[in-house]
């Protein structure tokens, strides 16, 4: 199944049907040609950087946790030092909506910049899997020839080697993916213990490996064309001022062999040969185009060879290609930008408050608001402390500075330990001796935690009767 459907000659793309699907519904397997140029090189550098980031994020510790650790088992998300617990899920609203509008903003401005430059699927397919394929089977003509060649020892060997490397890379990606959910430390433990000890984790990795192998080894551009919902949004998010990869029809047409037609396009079809989704950019903006820039470099190379200016295929807006005034900033750009900034701003505000390694809340304990007798007034509070760190915290509850002189905390200072990523509740009693009691007032309680020497100060209301109604203690 993982071989390609044999074809005698490269198929000619059109606007009526998808190139990669034959009329009988079978798959037409593409073999895009290799291309060199400044855009492809820039994309490759960005791709390598992104792969490094994907792989390194679980390795970089921030506040004792990996930079990105989606700890589903303990229901905590650690994101760049910020720890989110289930109660913080509302923060995700700002994160997701902010990211969504940032994507809308980027798409309205620069079309499918995400697809071509940053989508992990494109990054791994273009900069890893296609590289492996080219390394083993050669450039497009050699691969097509290999597809059409009869079965031989060399063909079988090449295919086995290629798919063995594909599977190994897929397994590596699956392990990296799992490390985002279980942490590297535990993943390493799983690997040492063997698959039978951790059947679920092994099953997830095995399943993911198969899916990735299928996608990158066989399904390839079909995912972008058929399955990815983002591609379907393009029509709604872009307009005539959106900058996309396109063909300058005014300059290129009428096309024809060099010296025989007025246009600059010599109809060499090089831009078609390099396209990983099998389209002809000269047919206009199409849903299949992922903005990979391969056709820009391919055409620039041809233009250079025939002594014409580069940029027949380039990044430009439809207005730019038509010779109309280009408008970079426009109402929808402002709107998407404002909404993205709103989400980012709210998230930053929340993050700055939540980036603390500990969290403490103090509420009045159930029952009566206060207890009093001739000697004192007592209020009971419930202190809930959350340790978001990976190490045990030593916690002390004290009366804060705003507490009237003479008030006491039952049992003097209360010190207790809270384990890593644990939450603990403690009851604490604040006592106002009759001589010190001044009536209902706001007092403060300090929750101090180590390591980190962090003090969380909370103001609570101290309730009690009218001071006059309280008998004075006997000397």
Residue burial 320-356, b: 16+ Cβ < 10 Å; e: rest: bbeeeeeeeeeebbeebbebbeebbebbeebbeebeb
Cβ proximity to ligand SF4: between 289 and 430 the closer is: 289
- By CB under 6 A, residue 418 contacts ligand SF4: no
Which one of 117-125, 266-274, 374-382, 406-414 is the stretch in contact with ligand SF4 (CB under 6 A)?
266-274
- By CB under 6 A, residue 362 contacts ligand SF4: no
Look at residue 400 and give its three-state secondary structure.
coil
- By CB under 6 A, residue 294 contacts ligand SF4: yes
Q: How far is the CB of 39 from ligand SF4 (least distance, A)?
A: 9
- By CB under 6 A, residue 19 contacts ligand SF4: no
SS (H, E, C) 259-303: CCCCCCCCCCCHHHHCCCCCCCHHHCCCCCCCCCCHHHHHHHHHH
8 A C-beta contact, residue 107 and residue 113 = yes
Cis peptide before 316 (omega within 30 of 0): no
Query: Token pair of 93, please?
Result: 């609203």
- By CB under 6 A, residue 285 contacts ligand SF4: no
Alpha-carbon distance of 8 to 22, in angstroms, equals 13
- Residues 85-104 touching ligand SF4, rule: CB under 6 A, are none
8 A C-beta contact, residue 198 and residue 188 = no
- By CB under 6 A, residue 281 contacts ligand SF4: yes
Q: Residue count at the site for ligand SF4 (CB under 6 A)?
A: 29
Alpha-carbon distance of 272 to 424, in angstroms, equals 64
- By CB under 6 A, residue 30 contacts ligand SF4: no
- In DSSP terms, 291 is beta-bridged to none
Q: How many CB atoms lie within 10 A of CB 312?
A: 24
- By CB under 6 A, residue 113 contacts ligand SF4: no
- Write each residue from 187 to 226 as x if it is in contact with ligand SF4 (CB under 6 A), else as -, in one continuous string: ----------------------------------------
**DSSP letters of 52-64?**
HHHHHTTTSEETT
- Which of 147, 249, 267, 422 binds ligand SF4 (CB under 6 A)? It is 267
Alpha-carbon distance of 454 to 417, in angstroms, equals 14
Which one of 21-29, 172-180, 203-211, 297-305 is the stretch in contact with ligand SF4 (CB under 6 A)?
297-305
- By CB under 6 A, residue 125 contacts ligand SF4: no
Which one of 16-24, 92-100, 263-271, 438-446 is the stretch in contact with ligand SF4 (CB under 6 A)?
263-271
Alpha-carbon distance of 334 to 338, in angstroms, equals 6
- Write each residue from 298 to 337 as x if it is in contact with ligand SF4 (CB under 6 A), else as -, in one continuous string: xx--x---------xx------------------------
- Which of 18, 110, 205, 266 binds ligand SF4 (CB under 6 A)? It is 266
Q: Is the dihedral of CA 91, 95, 100, 105 positive or negative?
A: positive
Q: How far is the CB of 231 from ligand SF4 (least distance, A)?
A: 11
- By CB under 6 A, residue 344 contacts ligand SF4: no
Q: How far is the CB of 130 from ligand SF4 (least distance, A)?
A: 13
- Which of 174, 212, 245, 447 binds ligand SF4 (CB under 6 A)? It is 245
Which one of 62-70, 290-298, 417-425, 453-461 is the stretch in contact with ligand SF4 (CB under 6 A)?
290-298
- Which of 40, 132, 279, 340 binds ligand SF4 (CB under 6 A)? It is 279
Look at residue 431 and give its three-state secondary structure.
strand
**DSSP letters of 402-420?**
TSPTT-EETTSSEEEEE-T
Q: What is the end-to-end Cα distance of the chain in Å, rounded?
A: 96
Q: How far is the CB of 99 from ligand SF4 (least distance, A)?
A: 24
Q: At what angle do helices 89-110 and 331-354 cross, to 10 degrees?
A: 150
| Binding region for ligand SF4 (CB under 6 A) | 245, 247, 252, 265-271, 274-277, 279, 281-282, 289-295, 298-299, 302, 312-313
């Amino acid at each position: 199944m993982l071989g390609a459907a044999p074809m005698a000659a490269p198929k000619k793309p059109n606007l009526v049907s998808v190139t990669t699907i034959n009329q009988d519904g079978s798959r037409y397997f593409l073999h895009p040609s290799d291309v060199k140029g400044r855009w492809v090189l820039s994309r490759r550098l960005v791709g390598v950087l992104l792969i490094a980031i994907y792989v390194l994020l679980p390795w970089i510790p921030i506040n004792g946790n990996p930079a990105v650790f989606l700890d589903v088992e303990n229901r905590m998300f650690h994101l760049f030092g910020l720890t989110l617990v289930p109660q913080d899920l509302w923060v995700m609203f700002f994160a997701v909506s902010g990211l969504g509008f940032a994507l809308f903003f980027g798409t309205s401005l620069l079309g499918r910049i995400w697809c071509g430059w940053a989508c992990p699927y494109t990054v791994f397919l273009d900069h890893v899997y296609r590289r492996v394929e080219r390394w083993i089977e050669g450039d497009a003509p050699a691969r097509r020839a290999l597809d059409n060649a009869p079965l031989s020892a060399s063909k079988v060997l090449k295919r086995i080697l290629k798919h063995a490397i594909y599977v190994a890379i897929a397994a590596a990606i699956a392990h990296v993916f799992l490390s985002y959910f279980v942490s590297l430390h535990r993943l390493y433990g799983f690997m040492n213990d063997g698959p039978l000890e951790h059947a679920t984790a092994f099953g997830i990795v095995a399943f993911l490996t198969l899916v990735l192998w299928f996608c990158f080894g066989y399904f390839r551009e079909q995912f972008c064309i058929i399955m990815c919902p983002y591609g379907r949004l393009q029509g709604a998010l872009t307009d005539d001022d959106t900058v996309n990869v396109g063909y300058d029809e005014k300059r290129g047409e009428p096309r024809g062999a060099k010296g025989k037609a007025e246009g600059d396009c010599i109809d060499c079809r090089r831009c078609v040969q390099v396209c990983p989704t099998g389209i002809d950019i000269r047919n206009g903006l199409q849903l299949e185009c992922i903005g990979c820039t391969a056709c820009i470099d391919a055409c620039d190379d041809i233009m250079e060879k025939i002594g014409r200016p580069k940029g027949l295929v380039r990044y430009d807006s439809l207005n730019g290609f038509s010779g109309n005034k280009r408008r970079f900033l426009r109402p929808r750009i402002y709107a998407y930008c404002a909404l993205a900034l709103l989400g980012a701003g709210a998230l930053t505000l929340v993050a700055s408050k939540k980036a603390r390694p500990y969290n403490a809340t103090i509420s009045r304990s159930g029952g009566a608001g206060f207890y009093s007798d001739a000697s004192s007034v007592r209020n009971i509070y419930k202190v809930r402390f959350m340790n978001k760190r990976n190490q045990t915290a030593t916690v002390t509850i004290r009366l804060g500075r705003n507490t009237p002189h003479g008030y006491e905390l039952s049992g003097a200072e209360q010190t207790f330990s809270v384990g890593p990523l644990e939450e603990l509740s403690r009851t604490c009693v604040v006592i106002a001796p009759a001589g010190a009691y001044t009536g209902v007032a706001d007092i403060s309680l300090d929750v101090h935690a180590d390591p980190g020497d962090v003090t969380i100060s909370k103001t609570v209301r101290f309730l009690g009767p009218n001071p006059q109604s309280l008998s004075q203690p006997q000397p």
